């Protein structure tokens, strides 16, 4: 006889707990984060490993530090090179896999822009002057001068520049 009341009590407790957490994130209210916005982070284009001559490869590190409420970086960064009337949206590096990173205030992430230097005045070279960076899920951008020479292209100007996935910086 004693087993039935205990079973009923355990079942009732389980139902109450299930009702309290009905699939939502009620335990995390206020802690969930939305997509990082370019206006809420500081962006720094670091010291580059320059491509000195046409056909050489260079790499430019880009650091992002959250300056506001917790946010998430999911998918790849956006980067566009502009030179005169020509623009080139950078593709993700072949084989790179995006990861989801949560950044609280003060946390940093980075990515790398890899490029093949083009020949000055070459048919598919992009004489880039500006680098525009956007974050996943946003359209606002931040611009930086491009000081790394023309970018090569195989089928169109500048198509030989790529972005890596975001990587967590620090712990």
pLDDT for position 137: 87
Tens of pLDDT, residues 127-149: 999 999 999 988 999 999 999 99
Cα end-to-end distance, the chain, whole Å: 56
Domain assignment of residue 14, yes or no: no
pLDDT for position 19: 38
Domain assignment of residue 99, yes or no: yes
What does the block give as tokens for 23?
């699939």
Domain assignment of residue 21, yes or no: no
Across the range 21-46, mean pLDDT stands at: 69
State if pTM tops 0.85. no
61 closest CA partner among 52, 74, 70, 48: 48
Domain assignment of residue 151, yes or no: yes
Alpha-carbon distance 143 to 128, whole Å? 12
Q: Which CATH number characterizes residue 145's domain?
A: 2.60.40
Confidence grade of residue 32 (pLDDT, cut at 50, 70, 90): low
Residue 29 has pLDDT above 60, yes or no: no
* Full residue range of the structural domain in which residue 92 is found: 34-169
Alpha-carbon distance 125 to 82, whole Å? 12
Tens of pLDDT, residues 51-109: 999 999 999 999 999 999 999 999 999 999 999 889 999 999 999 999 999 999 999 99
Domain assignment of residue 17, yes or no: no
Domain assignment of residue 129, yes or no: yes
Number of domains in the chain: 1
Average pLDDT, the chain: 84
């Amino acid at each position: 006889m004693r087993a039935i009341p205990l079973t009923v009590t355990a079942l009732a407790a389980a139902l109450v707990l299930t009702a309290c957490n009905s699939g939502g994130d009620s335990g995390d209210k206020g802690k969930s984060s939305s997509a990082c916005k370019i206006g809420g982070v500081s962006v720094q284009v670091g010291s580059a490993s320059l491509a000195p001559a046409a056909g050489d490869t260079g790499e430019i590190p880009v650091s992002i530090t959250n300056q506001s409420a917790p946010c998430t970086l999911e998918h790849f960064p956006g980067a566009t090179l502009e030179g005169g009337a020509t623009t080139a949206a950078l593709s993700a590096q072949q084989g790179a896999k995006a990861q989801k990173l949560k950044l609280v205030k003060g946390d940093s992430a980075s990515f790398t822009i890899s490029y093949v230097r083009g020949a000055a005045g070459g048919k598919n070279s992009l004489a880039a002057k500006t680098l525009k960076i956007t974050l996943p899920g946003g359209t606002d951008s931040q611009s930086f001068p491009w000081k790394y020479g023309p970018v090569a292209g195989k089928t169109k100007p500048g198509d030989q520049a790529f972005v890596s996935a975001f990587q967590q910086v620090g712990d």
